[in-house]
Amino acid sequence: MITQQLTHPRSIVVVGGSNDIQKPGGKVLKNLLDGGFKGALYVMNPKEDEVQGIKSYRNPEEMPDVDLAILAIAAKYTPETVEFLAQHKNTRAFIVLSAGFSEESHEGKLLEDRLVAAVNKVNGSLIGPNCVGVLTPQYHGVFTEPIPKLDPKGCDFISGSGATACFIMEAGIPKGLTFNNVYSVGNSAQMGVEEVLQYMDENFDPEKDAKVKLLYLEKIDKPDLLLKHASSLIRKGCRIAAVKAGASEAGSRAASSHTGALAGSDAAADALFRKAGIVRCYGREDLIAVASVFMHPELKGKRFAVITHAGGPAVMLTDKLSNGGLQVPAITGPDADELKSKLFPGSAVGNPIDFLATGTAEQLGTIIDYVNEKFDDIDAMVVIFGTPGLFKVFDVYDLLHEKMKTSKKPIFPVLPSVLTAAEEVKAFVEKGRVYFPDEVMLGEALARVYHTSAPAAETPDLPPVDKEKIRAVVEHAENGYLSPENVAALLDAAGISRAKEFTTDKKEVLLKQASEIGFPLVMKVVGPLHKSDVGGVSLNIRTNEKLLAEMDRMMQIEGAKGVLIQPMLSGTELFAGVKKEAKFGHLILFGLGGIFIEVLKDVRTTLAPLSRNEVLDELKKLKSYKIIQGVRGQEGVNEDLFADILVRLSALVATAPEIAEMDLNPLLGNSRQVIAVDARIRIEK
């Protein structure tokens, strides 16, 4: 719970404050003083009467009541200090900078638990321990640098790592990126990134609050909370970018199904970010670039004009934009010819628009005006302008600043001469501008922002399923893989089309079943999990003799309990699967099936509950989507029927959360039907 005492304290005590500003207790006090905290400021230090000009209390009993305590003392002394302040000084907010807690040892975890218990007892707020603090317009409660100029139109930044927060600010500030509130949550003993974001959502003021939120997460403890409040903020007009570190944490975990092998906590985080509308980033510079894109007018289309006086960067940017699914369309016609006539000989306007190393500020202004007024098939501009150092370029950057004020289309400035034109770049930033030093990083950021969808529906409409039948099967089943009969029952109850099938271990029954289905047939061994690997699949069986021979062979396979027969169907092999991921709930995966899932691993991962629109949107992101559409005369797959199966899987796991893993592989799809040919379901109660 975030209290008023944490966000807007009237009084602060630095416990362990000192005159040594090379120590956390001294530096945080200096930062509070330099930041102009307007409330009462105290120090608790048993050896001092005054610290940096602030009254210090040797005896805590003598100190007045205080809203917020910032602690920079040894871990072992912290719990009793927090307990004293909470119980006797009405302190309701605590920032514990100290390390030596759960990140270090079991004993440290016990100390941390005491901290949380003491703060919870008085319904207070605890940030940390093991953090760099909190930086807000109200107070500079951090012991680190840099201290950025705080701007209500800047970024709110919540980080699970204090050092990473500092490094990101360090790299972002020179590029013009500004900040508003910065929370370093450290061990997140009581509150993590999710709770701070919840507070920002529940107290969001569209007139006053920052509309850009940046997150750095090393773990996601409360995915439901993150999804709910991130998507809520985005619906309110905010934009959110996040780095989730630890991508390989669950990648090597053993799994018994294709779905289990493909899904993990990082895939879950990826699915959550997409569902929420969060732009996922993969490093500090990546996050800074996306945040800088957010600081410019919102991109409404994907067609760019690349305006440059240097050919190489323009080519690299054009490649990156094109490879990222954006466009740099050719500019032709009378208006293009007219523009070219206003530039120096040798200039090119076909896009990129190259007005040469000798190009002037006036020419740049002319180009921007033409793109704004005459080239309707352009949605945005990137201006690349550095300097060889022969002359100053203040006039160019001044003009660029003025044009950005009035441009109908977003202008993204790439200023690569960060050393040679350092003065000019600094002056541009001081006007409140954010720039990009690298065109390729900008191109990647633009593509990532453009392709991030809006938040999914909060409560999608799921198709009706036979809940009573589903619960009956699950409640009577034991942990592990369900029998083919129970798998069929669940698919039928969920309304998922499946191939007609029979299982048996008796030859006379097999012959009767085959006559009922009709040749040609497929036979599969019952028992072993990976049937193809052990020779447990036989296709295109057309006679009783072949049928009986294949049964004899398969019953010799280790673990065989019988055989299953189905009609021989044709179509594109598809895959759908379910994996229950701790904390996140059910992931639903889909793509091409059969052997392609192992070779291509072209799979989209989504988070249940799943809407039809989400499915259709994600389907188009498959690299193999052209195959699903149908290529070179091949029949395509009915996308609506495929989507229907996936949303029915979502309804199935909503009714049967005990489903731990599930494979429908393959599904056979064509323009008329999509049918499950093979299915496995594992229950874990």
Same domain, 264 and 322: no
Query: Is residue 225 a part of any domain in this protein?
Result: yes
Three-state SS string across 334-368, please? HHHHHHHHCCCCCCECCCCEECCCCCCHHHHHHHH
Residue 254's pLDDT band (cuts 50, 70, 90): very low
In the chain, how many domains are there? 3
For residue 260, the model assigns a pLDDT of 47
Identify whether the C-beta of residue 544 lies closer than 8 Å to the C-beta of residue 519: no
The per-residue pLDDT for 258 is 46
Q: Per the domain annotation, does 438 fall within a domain?
A: no
Would you call the peptide bond into 609 cis, given omega within 30 degrees of 0 as the criterion?
A: yes
Q: Are residues 315 and 381 in the same domain?
A: yes
Mean pLDDT throughout 421-427?
96
Q: What is the mean pLDDT of residues 267-274?
A: 94
Q: Quick one: how far is CA 454 from the chain centroid?
A: 13
Region 107-115: mean pLDDT is 95
**Residue 521 within any structural domain of the chain:** no
Give mean pLDDT, residues 532-552: 94
Question: Would you state the pLDDT for residue 350?
Answer: 94
pLDDT, tens digit (0-9, with 9 covering 90-100), for 5-53: 999 999 999 999 999 999 999 999 999 999 999 999 999 999 999 999 9
Mean pLDDT of the chain: 93
Instruction: Give the pLDDT score at 390.
Output: 85
- Residue 455 DSSP symbol: P
* Alpha carbon distance 234, 238 (integer Å): 4
Q: Verify that 427 and 410 share a domain, yes or no.
A: yes
Same domain, 354 and 413: yes
Question: In sequence order, which ranges of 38-161 are alpha helices (DSSP H)?
Answer: 78-88, 106-121
User: Residue 248's pLDDT is what?
Assistant: 54
Looking at the domain assignment, is residue 500 inside a domain?
no
What average pLDDT does this structure show over 118-146? Answer: 96
Q: How confident is the model at residue 266 (pLDDT cuts 50, 70, 90)?
A: confident
Same domain, 222 and 363: no
Query: Is it the case that residue 1 has pLDDT exceeding 90?
Result: no
Q: Are 231 and 239 a contacting pair, CB within 8 Å?
A: no
Residue 440 pLDDT > 80: yes
Q: What is the mean pLDDT of residues 206-223?
A: 95
Last residue of a domain, one of 433, 462, 494: 433
Whether residue 85 is found in the same domain as residue 224:
no
377 and 274 within one domain: no
Boundary-marking domain end, from 131, 166, 185: 131
Same-domain pairing of 87 and 146? no
**Dist CA 252 CA 254 (whole Å):** 6
Residue span of the structural domain in which 16 resides: 4-131
Percent of the chain with pLDDT over 70: 97
- Does residue 252 share a domain with residue 152? yes
The domain that holds 195 is classified in CATH as 3.40.50.261
Of 92, 111, 131, which residue sits at a domain end? 131
Same domain, 328 and 259: no
Domain presence at residue 258: yes
**Residue 135: how many other CB atoms lie within 10 Å:** 25
Q: Are residues 252 and 226 in the same domain?
A: yes
**pTM, entire model:** 0.89
Is residue 595 situated within a structural domain?
A: no
Based on the fold, state whether residues 145 and 289 are members of the same structural domain: yes
Instruction: Convert the pLDDT of each residue in 388-419 to its tens digit.
Output: 888 899 999 999 999 999 999 999 999 999 99
